Amino acid sequence: MIPFEILIEDVFFNISLNNSLDPMDNKTVLSLLNDFENGEWRYDKFQRFIWNNIKETALSHKERQALLNDGEDSVLTEAAKSLRIAEDNGKGSEISEILLYGIMKHHYKALPVVPKIFYKQNSQDNAKGSDSVHIVIENDDTFSLWLGEAKFYNDITNAQLQKIVESVKDSLQLHKLKKENYIITNVSDLNDLKLSDEIRQKIFKYLSTDTSIDLLKPILHIPILLLYECAITKNETHFTEEYKKQISSLHKERSTKYFEEQIKSCSDIDLYSEIKFHIILFPVPEKEKIVNKFIQKANVYRL
């Protein structure tokens, strides 16, 4: 179970402020909130969630298994060494990637396929692409593929929303999807997952370069995490109903604007209406403080 409050979890049609948009039935909105304690937003709780989920996105399955006998500190030390802190320049991109991983695992019950931070650090750029790659087992013989985008922004103005729309559209280009499928079947931990032979064979069949992307799109999901600095949250001291009401109103308006831009920009993508999109909004009071705390703790482990 995810440790944050679910403020909104609904199909986009039910919360859209623009009912003329089409299509809407392939979109959902998830709004998550951290709470407050003693007059402050719970930074420590947020950081614990990040560090509790860092292992499986920064280390391969084989690395994690090899380190098990050495204890938790050894695992976290190696995970911290895989971070791209020097080149991130305080943007916090890896925080958003880890947060999305944790949401996928604990909320959507997804299985990790490519530990992205590990492969970005260790595979000479061959795993760059989607920020999160997961498989969700729907039942005994069906699955869905989730290729996520994760951003940590200073705000979610229209300009920032347009950037993520452009990034999502780029990720859906035919050659990008083909490349992602190649990565999944060649450098992933797919063979280490506890799957039935039937579902494993089906996954490899759907992701094969010989299989048309047209068959993949109906099972393709794009989770889009917008972790962002929020003035409302920054000025709040308690987890009140009024605070939740303000954030709910903001997230309905921003998700409507986002999907307006996405439909305008991406509707020319073949089989666009078959792909499922999930916008996930998570406000924080101060981005710089979160990034600095994360880097500080990472540097302690890296010593």
The pLDDT tens digits of the residues spanning 51-94 come to: 888 877 776 666 666 656 666 667 777 777 777 765 555 578 88
What phi and psi values does residue 71 have, to the nearest 5 degrees? 95, 170
- With vertex at residue 17, the alpha carbon angle to CA 12 and CA 19, rounded to the nearest 5 degrees, is 75
Which range of residues forms the domain containing residue 257?
5-302
Mean pLDDT of 177-206: 82
Answer yes or no: is pLDDT of 188 > 90: no
Q: What is the pLDDT of residue 186?
A: 74
Mean pLDDT of 1-30: 96
What tokens appear for 244 in the block? 């939740």
Q: How many residues does the chain have?
A: 303
Quick check: 116 and 55 in contact, CB under 8 A? Answer: no
DSSP state of 234: H
Task: In whole angstroms, give the CA distance from residue 8 to residue 214.
Answer: 31
SS3 of residue 33 by DSSP: strand
DSSP state of 217: G
Beta bridge partners of 153: 228
pLDDT tens digits, 90-149: 578 889 999 999 999 999 999 877 666 555 555 444 445 678 888 899 987 899 999 999
Number of structural domains the chain divides into: 1
- Structural element, H or E, at residue 40: strand 40-41
Model pTM above 0.85: yes
Q: What percentage of the chain carries pLDDT values higher than 90?
A: 62
What is the overall mean pLDDT for the chain?
88
Sign of CA dihedral 225, 247, 4, 255: negative
Amino acid at 102: G
Q: What is the pLDDT of residue 71?
A: 64
Quick check: 271 and 217 in contact, CB under 8 A? Answer: yes
Beta bridge partners of 28: 11, 278
Residues 6+ apart with CB under 8 A from 94: 83, 84, 85, 88, 117
